[in-house]
Structure 1
């Protein structure tokens, strides 16, 4: 053999072009006839040579030579040539000369002779570079299919599987048994191992696809049922402010789920692009009930500055009561704008507006009553002071001392000089404030006595 055969570069054929063929060797003629491997029985191969099936010893069978590109043979090198009239058989020959695009080849087999050939009627001598074999190059393996659904799929898609597995594994034969759940493989051991791997992969995906297909069928049926149900359902939609979408949805969609369950509707969808809320339910009452739970609005109510304190109440009591009774979500005062801000469901906000309106009706009445009370309080205070002033002379008369006997003047009960029982003046408790005393003066008649004031 010569190195010229290595100049041929093998190229993988397309899936549709590859045929599972071998070549049968004729040792006398040194020829190689292509055939199809159909079965293996111990050391014998069943080959279809075109004219019928023939059992051949494994040593006379080799894998078909790989395709190659054009090459230029060298004189005295060994090549394989197709003779005129025997286009399918390749014969070993020796290159006598090469001139232009023509090659003169001398056949080495029992038939002898020489011929002038040109490309592509010659190729490298494949047998001269192939390693010697000590055991059969091809084996027969049977792969069992455990899933009947996979077996049915393989039978329905045999051409697809054969094309994929044969082209990638290089097995020579791949047959799906029509009756038994198995696949027969013929080829080299490594090729059969690769084919098994690919078959298992196909089977795995077929099983997965069968489950997915079953799920898809169930979903399709459910979808059809839902479409029919929605067609007969009631539908309602309403806009919502973008800043209120969070209140409509709730944390993790809690508000939507709660409203859907409470109202018994089939579907609640919040479209943030609208933004809008779409409700679908079995009755008009159910979708209206869901709307009442999900339609959040915001209102700003202008108020006078003097009304703010009346609305808030002492310690925020009125605001707290308003929020508890109306279930409004947010309640605040915008003092700069002079507005009360209400946020909640439309029902809650309407209730809060009614509460505020009624509460403010009493502001003027309470202010009027407060002014009247203050006026009466001032008038009452004036009358009390006048009575006190009129009572002061009567008290002083009881303290008069007559001119005739000033020394024996009787000390009255109201006289501050009068001692309590026991002859001692009562002590003032520690820390008690001393009451201011009016200056006591004794009324005298006639001229003052000498030595006394």
Structure 2
């Protein structure tokens, strides 16, 4: 099995590139907004704020890692004078603002927020919106560019959804494919970038084969989706046939199946090896009509032992005529002194 896997993913559910999540401070308000880091240049980071489509460059000193809040910190008791960060949410986008607890009462806290004009605003919040003020320690990242060979650029684009797993194996902070598929950009520590170099070269070797697997899987998903949609629109008629009679039911080269599928209102006929037959039709009546043409019924008719020869006829002529008239398969069995037609 491939180290990274090759699970199918259509273009409609392709995830974004693996871009590490950071927090970017607005210095005047001491407010932090989450963003994905996409590129590193000198003293600037290219980030895409959560909820935004466009990326922008910000000073590297404004970026910090997202704090990890322990259960103890989450459940701590706050008292007057403590500095905390308060969660605000607007249009589904979360931000954290640093303030000071000015009052605590009955599970609610009043926090004050000085602004750039030295004006103080207050907010009453519950405990679950508070976390410790972690201060600002700028995050430091290195970058490495991995050129993608021209002949495999389409394959690397098809397998782009494997980048997050590759990045996690290398312990990278971010890994993304440029829009023209000419480069992979890795962001992280020097050791992580060295590990990524090895894994990415392995991926380049396997990319053509993985791309074919993904394309076949995507094609199969589309076909299954089409079949599932058709199944939901039709009326299924299911019955169980004797496994020994499957060949008779299907007919020579599938003649019986083709004949039934040509009947009005019949969408599809499926026959499984265990004898399960599924007919998908536009209506119950049309499905039942198709079933009557396929279902094999076995009936034993006892005959006198002296009549066996008469039923078979010379050279089996009588049996053949009876089969032609009745559209049934007839076997004449004579065993233990008991004769029967089946």
TM-score of the pair, normalised by structure 2: 0.44
Q: Which gives a bigger RCO, structure 1 or 2 (Cα 8 Å, sep 6+)?
A: 2
**Higher CA-based Rg:** 1
TM-score of the pair, normalised by structure 1: 0.35
- Structure with higher strand content: 2
